[in-house]
């Protein structure tokens, strides 16, 4: 166990719930720490349901291509906890992170606080003590009461597409969820809004109007499209004709467009065209339609197979993944097999419904070390209910071995999906963790 793991284990005992949305505990600890949130580099705050990580990755890549130093805070991690904290381009070291967590633990004492709250406080300490030109601050859950919502005046507030997820914390309608997401908007700070369902957009627009936050809404104030394989972005300041995003899937054009809009709305950086070109081509975000071309798990599949990984886990993410797979099928046809592990809190049928008529079979697996993991047979039953043949296996290696027994021709296209926790297990087992 590393020093970071030891501290996290102790912190888990400070609050009975892993998630308890409130800012009271966060404000108390930040005051005791000397208010590090007031000493941060300029902040771009990023919330929403789907696409937060990819949008953040595009913003970071573009800014770094322009030679700027970028701090990044994201969650959850996939393999190592350190992935959540990027200091001017480099993941925080074990020593740096352990010191910041230990300081927060000492000052917090025995007061109740969630692990996400105290680790966010540790991140703000680190970001305040290391010089950078900008901090990309990703919301953990919701927005209004999220631990990251302690920055008074960011450069821009960004809301990616809102969809139904985390019902138990945010509400069971798009309007309620959108209201929580809109809680990150700040008075007179540009509100950059990705493509939204009408019900969610109306809530966000009303929140922005109350705060007099200038709106930059997809389809109204800026557009992004795919033309002859290129990304074309346009707003009132002009048109950018750019290479396609490195990240796979049509939805990544929307995420890249949102990243560009955020940077142009922030109006704090004089970015050359080359920064956008290099950034789109360089952006990397693991477990989002990631091709695993080699590794321990990839070697278990028949020669010539494709192995893909995506941590999507709600209906909207399932739709985006299915569209990306359909595009791959149109280019090179292969039998598609899904290896799926999901949490019990997720709507399995709504997720899998997207793959009806596209996937040949679902093989359900457990998510290890997750008490809320859904049993594989329950996932397989859900797949059968939506019309996809399904098996259940005890692990990802067993699922891949089962695929090899199917003797499919041509060699199959395999997607492991349903959970970022599962994605982290896969990257670790494959020997290809995020850098």
Contact 57, 167 (CB under 8 A): no
pTM of the model: 0.94
Measured between alpha carbons, how far is 232 from 153 in angstroms, rounded to an integer?
A: 30
Measured between alpha carbons, how far is 53 from 65 in angstroms, rounded to an integer?
A: 18
Secondary structure (3-state) at 367:
coil
pLDDT at site 167: 57
How large is the C-alpha radius of gyration of the chain?
Answer: 21
Secondary structure (3-state) at 340:
strand
DSSP string, 265-278: HH------HHHHHH
What is the layout of strands, in order, in the sheet containing 90-91? 90-91, 85-87, 70-73, 134-138, 43-47, 156-159, 191-193, 215-217
Contact 330, 363 (CB under 8 A): no
Q: Please compute the mean of the pLDDT values over residues 14-26 and round it to a whole number.
A: 75
Six-digit token pair at 259? 């990243």
Tokens 């349903």 belong to which residue?
A: 418
Tell me how many degrees the CA angle 173-179-184 measures, rounded to the nearest 5: 145
Tokens 């105290």 belong to which residue?
A: 118
pLDDT at site 3: 83
CA distances, 22 to each of 16, 28, 59, 74, 106 (Å):
14, 11, 28, 19, 21
Of 378, 370, 384, 381, residue with least CA distance to 419: 370
Residue intervals in the chain for CATH 3.40.1190.10: 3-282
For the chain, what's the residue count?
A: 435
* Residue 355, pLDDT above cutoff 70: yes
- In CATH, the architecture of 3-282 is 3-Layer(aba) Sandwich (3.40)
Residue intervals in the chain for CATH 3.90.190.20: 290-430
What is the layout of strands, in order, in the sheet containing 230-235? 222-227, 230-235, 238-242
Q: What would the pLDDT profile of 276-333 be if each residue is shown by its tens digit?
A: 999 999 999 999 999 999 999 999 999 999 999 999 999 999 999 999 999 999 999 9
Task: Enumerate long-range contacts of 431-435, CB under 8 Å, 24 or more apart.
Answer: 431/295, 431/296, 432/292, 432/294, 432/295, 433/78, 433/79, 433/80, 434/78, 434/79, 434/80, 434/83, 434/286, 435/91
Q: What would the pLDDT profile of 235-283 be if each residue is shown by its tens digit?
A: 999 999 999 999 999 999 999 999 999 999 998 899 999 999 999 999 9
pLDDT at site 191: 98
DSSP string, 316-327: HHHHHHHHHHHH
DSSP assigned state of 373: B
Measured between alpha carbons, how far is 40 from 124 in angstroms, rounded to an integer?
A: 7
Q: What would the pLDDT profile of 31-63 be if each residue is shown by its tens digit?
A: 999 999 999 999 999 999 999 999 999 999 999
pLDDT at site 19: 62
Of 54, 22, 28, residue with least CA distance to 290: 54
Q: What would the pLDDT profile of 95-122 be if each residue is shown by its tens digit?
A: 999 999 999 999 999 898 999 999 999 9
pLDDT at site 15: 66
Q: Which CATH number fits domain 290-430: 3.40.640.10, 3.40.430.10, 3.40.50.300, 3.90.190.20?
A: 3.90.190.20
Contact 313, 342 (CB under 8 A): yes
Paired residues of 136 in beta bridges: 44, 72
DSSP string, 374-420: PPHHHHHHHHHHTT--EEE-SSHHHHHHHHHHT--SS--EEEEES-H
CA distances, 230 to each of 67, 200, 424 (Å):
24, 29, 31
- Lowest average pLDDT, out of 162-171, 211-220, 334-343, goes to 162-171
Secondary structure (3-state) at 137:
strand
Measured between alpha carbons, how far is 393 from 273 in angstroms, rounded to an integer?
A: 49
Contact 160, 68 (CB under 8 A): no
Measured between alpha carbons, how far is 27 from 185 in angstroms, rounded to an integer?
A: 18
How would you classify the pairing of strands 191-193 and 215-217?
A: parallel
Please give the mean pLDDT across all residues of the chain: 94
Tokens 């890249």 belong to which residue?
A: 256
Measured between alpha carbons, how far is 75 from 53 in angstroms, rounded to an integer?
A: 8
Contact 377, 385 (CB under 8 A): no
């Amino acid at each position: 166990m590393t020093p970071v793991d030891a501290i996290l284990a102790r912190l888990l005992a400070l609050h009975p719930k892993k998630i308890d949305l409130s800012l009271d505990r966060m404000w108390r600890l930040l005051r005791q720490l000397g208010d590090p949130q007031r000493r941060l580099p300029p902040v771009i705050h990023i919330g929403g349901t789907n696409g937060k990580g990819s949008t953040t990755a595009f913003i970071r890549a573009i800014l770094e291509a322009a030679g700027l130093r970028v701090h990044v805070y994201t969650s959850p991690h996939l393999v190592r906890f350190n992935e959540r904290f990027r200091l001017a381009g480099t993941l925080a070291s074990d020593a740096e992170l352990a010191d910041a967590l230990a300081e927060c633990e000492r000052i917090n004492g025995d007061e109740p606080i969630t692990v996400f709250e105290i680790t966010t406080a540790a991140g703000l300490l680190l970001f305040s003590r290391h010089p950078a030109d900008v901090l990309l601050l990703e919301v953990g859950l919701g927005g209004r009461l999220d631990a990251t919502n302690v920055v008074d005046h960011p450069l821009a507030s960004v809301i990616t597409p809102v969809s139904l997820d985390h019902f138990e914390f945010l509400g069971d309608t798009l309007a309620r969820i959108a209201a929580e997401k809109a809680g990150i908007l700040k008075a007179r700070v540009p509100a950059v809004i990705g493509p939204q369902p009408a019900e969610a957009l109306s809530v966000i627009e009303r929140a922005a109007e109350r705060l007099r936050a200038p709106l930059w809404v997809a389809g109204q104030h800026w557009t992004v499209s795919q033309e002859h394989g290129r990304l074309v972005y346009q707003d009132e300041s002009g048109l950018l004709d750019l290479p396609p995003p490195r990240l796979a899937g049509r939805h990544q054009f929307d995420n890249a467009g949102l990243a560009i809009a955020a940077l142009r709305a922030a109006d704090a950086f004089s970015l050359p065209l080359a920064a956008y070109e290099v950034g789109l081509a360089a952006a990397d975000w693991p477990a989002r339609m990631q091709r695993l071309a080699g590794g321990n798990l990839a070697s278990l599949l028949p020669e010539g197979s494709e192995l893909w990984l995506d941590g999507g886990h709600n209906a909207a993410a399932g739709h985006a993944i299915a569209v990306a797979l359909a595009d791959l099928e149109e280019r090179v046809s292969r039998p598609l097999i899904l290896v799926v592990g999901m949490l019990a809190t997720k709507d399995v049928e709504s997720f899998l419904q997207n793959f009806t008529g596209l996937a040949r079979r679902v093989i359900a697996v457990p998510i290890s070390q997750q008490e809320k993991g859904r049993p594989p047979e329950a996932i397989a039953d859900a797949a059968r209910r939506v019309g996809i043949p399904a098996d259940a296996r005890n692990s990802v290696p067993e699922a891949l071995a089962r695929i090899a027994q199917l003797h499919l021709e041509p060699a199959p296209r395999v997607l492991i999906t349903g959970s970022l926790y599962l994605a982290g297990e896969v990257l670790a087992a494959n020997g290809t963790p995020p850098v």
